[in-house]
């Protein structure tokens, strides 16, 4: 195993940029005004000699200017040249930054994790999962090959994956999430929530303000914890919708299904003339308010009244 270590004096509020063609990236923080970098390169194959040639071809470049650090990892012959051998390698970046710092990370083949950071965090990978924990600042994440988790974020969260699920919790800001390859779970979000998936169900718990959720691959369960401020919309073609609302919520309801029936615990002042059909309900709850639109072609719709 080869181990490369670097240390740079910086000031809080600076930025770290990593652009690598391979490797997992782990960011941790410490009460220090330094950036410490430890890069390990090793082979997972028994054919050490063959793998060593690939590892030697992976070149690292470091730049330090003021409070900013830039790291670049590239294969001198290009990653395409070693495509068949990349799964035999393990390259890991462990980077310690000041607690107040900004990061921008990009790796082509590996997961990324960031924890205990005050600053904006951007991360992109095409070959692994993303994990953000205890972040005070905006979070932007994109992966085409894994799941995304963001927990305890004081800021807006914008994440997208085409190859896994989304798990987002304790977000003091707005959420925008997209996936075409898994389910979505959002718990305790104080800002607006907009999520879409074509590959699984959606579970929304303790959400507030404004909600937009779309899926064609599962059911939707939503617990709306506070009064919405503008239109909310839940739509699926792959399952039912179960919505739990605070007892004094004031909304105008539009609920319709072509694959089941609509039921509710609330008194609804219906605006439908004549007999109300089993699969449709329109009217106001508690005097009316922002529009709550529920649509499904794959199941029933249930509105429950939350209990203390």
Which H or E element spans position 183?
none
Q: What is the pLDDT of residue 2?
A: 86
Number of domains in the chain: 1
Bridge partner residues of 70 (DSSP):
17, 63
Query: Which two tokens mark 96?
Result: 């310690």
Q: Are 305 and 266 in contact (CB under 8 A)?
A: yes
Torsion of CA 208, 209, 213, 218, to 10 degrees: 20
Per the structure, the complete domain to which residue 85 belongs is given by 1-114
Q: Does residue 43 sit within a domain?
A: yes
Q: Does residue 219 sit within a domain?
A: no
Query: Is residue 33 scored above 90 in pLDDT?
Result: yes
Residues in Cβ contact with 56 at an 8 Å cutoff, skipping those fewer than 6 apart: none
Q: What is the pLDDT of residue 48?
A: 54
- Burial call 225-246: b when 16+ CB within 10 Å, e when fewer: bebbeeebbbbbbbbbbbbbbe
Q: Does residue 142 sit within a domain?
A: no
Q: What percent of the chain has pLDDT over 90?
A: 72
pLDDT in tens, 174-207: 999 999 888 999 999 989 999 999 878 999 998 8
Q: Does residue 59 sit within a domain?
A: yes
Q: Are 286 and 248 in contact (CB under 8 A)?
A: yes
Q: Does residue 166 sit within a domain?
A: no
According to DSSP, residue 276 is labeled P
Q: What is the pLDDT of residue 307?
A: 85
Q: Does residue 98 sit within a domain?
A: yes
Residues in Cβ contact with 160 at an 8 Å cutoff, skipping those fewer than 6 apart: 141, 142, 143, 177, 178, 179
Tell me if residue 84 falls in helix, strand or coil.
helix
Q: Within the chain, where are the H helices?
A: 48-57
Instruction: Tally helices (H) and strands (E) across the chain.
Output: 1, 29
Q: Does residue 198 sit within a domain?
A: no
Q: What is the pLDDT of residue 50?
A: 55
Q: What is the pLDDT of residue 11?
A: 96
Query: Which two tokens mark 300?
Result: 């029933």
Of 7, 22, 20, the C-alpha closest to 97 is: 7
Query: Which two tokens mark 8?
Result: 């740079």
Query: Is residue 47 scored above 60 in pLDDT?
Result: no
Bridge partner residues of 197 (DSSP):
179, 215
Q: Does residue 214 sit within a domain?
A: no
Query: Is residue 259 scored above 90 in pLDDT?
Result: no
Tell me if residue 162 falls in helix, strand or coil.
coil
**Of 255 and 47, which is predicted with more confidence?**
255
Q: Are 82 and 57 in contact (CB under 8 A)?
A: yes
According to DSSP, residue 46 is labeled S
Q: What is the pLDDT of residue 127?
A: 82
Query: Which two tokens mark 134?
Result: 């205890």
Q: What is the pLDDT of residue 217?
A: 80
How far is the C-alpha of 207 from the C-alpha of 249, rounded, in Å? 13
**Of 250 and 87, which is predicted with more confidence?**
250
pLDDT in tens, 145-170: 899 999 999 999 999 998 899 999 99
Residue 7: other Cβ atoms inside 10 A? 11
pLDDT in tens, 66-81: 999 999 999 887 777 6
Q: What is the pLDDT of residue 266?
A: 95
The model's confidence at residue 126, banded by pLDDT at 50, 70 and 90, is: confident
Of 228, 216, 295, the C-alpha closest to 259 is: 295
Residue 156: other Cβ atoms inside 10 A? 18
């Amino acid at each position: 195993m080869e181990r490369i270590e670097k240390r740079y004096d910086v000031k809080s509020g600076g930025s770290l940029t990593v652009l690598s063609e391979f490797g997992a990236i782990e960011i941790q923080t410490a009460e220090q005004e330094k950036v410490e970098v430890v890069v390990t390169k090793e082979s997972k194959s028994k054919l050490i000699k063959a793998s060593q040639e690939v590892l030697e071809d992976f070149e690292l470049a470091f730049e330090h200017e003021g409070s900013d650090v830039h790291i670049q990892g590239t294969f001198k012959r290009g990653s395409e040249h070693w495509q068949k051998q990349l799964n035999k390698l393990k390259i890991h970046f462990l980077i310690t930054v000041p607690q107040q710092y900004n990061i921008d990370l990009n790796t082509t083949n590996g997961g990324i994790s960031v924890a205990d950071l005050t600053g904006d965090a951007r991360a992109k990978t095409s070959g692994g999962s993303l994990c953000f924990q205890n972040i005070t600042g905006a979070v932007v994440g994109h992966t085409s090959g894994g799941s995304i988790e963001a927990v305890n974020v004081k800021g807006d969260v914008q994440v997208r994956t085409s190859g896994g699920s989304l798990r987002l919790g304790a977000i003091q800001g707005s959420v925008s999430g997209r996936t075409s390859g898994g389910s979505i779970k959002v718990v305790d979000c104080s800002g607006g929530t907009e999520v879409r998936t074509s590959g699984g169900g959606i579970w929304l718990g303790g959400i507030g303000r404004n909600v937009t959720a779309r899926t064609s691959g599962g059911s939707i369960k939503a617990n709306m914890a506070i009064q919405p401020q503008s239109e909310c919309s839940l739509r699926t073609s792959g399952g039912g919708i179960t919505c739990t609302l605070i007892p004094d919520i004031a909304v105008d309801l539009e609920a319709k299904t072509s694959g089941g029936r609509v039921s509710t615990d609330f008194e609804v002042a219906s605006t439908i003339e004549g007999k109300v059909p089993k699969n449709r309900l329109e009217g106001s709850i508690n005097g009316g308010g922002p529009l709550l639109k529920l649509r499904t072609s794959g199941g029933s719709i249930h509105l429950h009244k939350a209990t203390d």
